[in-house]
Structure 1
Amino acid sequence: MSDRDDEISPEELDTLLEADEEVRIVDIRSPAAFDRGAIPGSENVPFRTLPQEIERFAGDERVVTVCPHGKASLQAVRIIDSYEGATGTVRSLAGGLEAWSREYELEDGKEREKTGADAPF
């Protein structure tokens, strides 16, 4: 875990993904931003629609929320945690996509390395 109980470090998330652990990655950016690139295997649930789609997280063991810098995703953690059907662990990616140094999945399903101006946010 990172220094905060409601965050997970990029390295910890990468370790979970490499180990094929069950983790639901929820990218809360706009659909347009998500289409420019996202963490492989993540799904897009824009922040503004999160309260209406909260039931999607019922029964998930582990949810990681993602945004550009890790601020809005902390709010998303609180929203999901407040839902009584959410019984698993919910964490925000510490530092957001800015801190994610691995590959991004593009709209066409291809992956590319993160490089400065190519960052998808």
Structure 2
Amino acid sequence: MDGEIDGEELRSVLDDEAARVVDIRSPAAFARGHIPGSENVPLGRLVDEVEQFDGDDRVVTVCPKGKSSVQAARLIASYEGFEGRVESFAPGLQGWDGPIEERGADAGGADEGPDAPF
């Protein structure tokens, strides 16, 4: 892992499209609100999907409070196929003061429960 970044650096990364921003929360939490431009790879699936980061130059991991994202960044960095830079967003989503994007129920991933049978 190459360290942690703050909100100002993350905004710069997003503006320049200089990194892949990975939100490790559940799909339902991601749908309720996430940093625009980020993608959802829940921490529980990260071990099985870590190879998808092959060829990425820079990855920034995001979680609610900046703790689990450190673990995710370390996991990605330890993958022998990954040669880029990987960082954790230090303050976590609770410390993000930028825009939040939400996905409605029609966009998929919302945790609305099962469909009614009628």
TM-score by length of 2: 0.84
Q: Percent identity?
A: 59
C-alpha distance in 2 between matches for 1:66 and 1:86: 18
Runs of 4+ residues deviating >2 angstroms: none
2:90 pairs with 91, 94, 102, which one?
94
Structure 1: state its 5+ residue gaps.
Answer: 109-121
- Higher RCO (CA 8 Å, separation ≥ 6 residues): 2
C-alpha distance in 1 between matches for 2:17 and 2:46: 24
C-alpha distance in 2 between matches for 1:67 and 1:48: 13
Q: Which residue identity does 2:7 align to in structure 1? A: P
Structure having the larger proportion of residues in strand: 1
Aligned length: 104
1:49 pairs with 33, 45, 52, which one?
45
Rg larger in 1 or in 2?
2
C-alpha distance in 1 between matches for 2:14 and 2:23: 15
Structure 2: state its 5+ residue gaps.
Answer: 105-118
Root-mean-square deviation over aligned CA pairs: 1.4
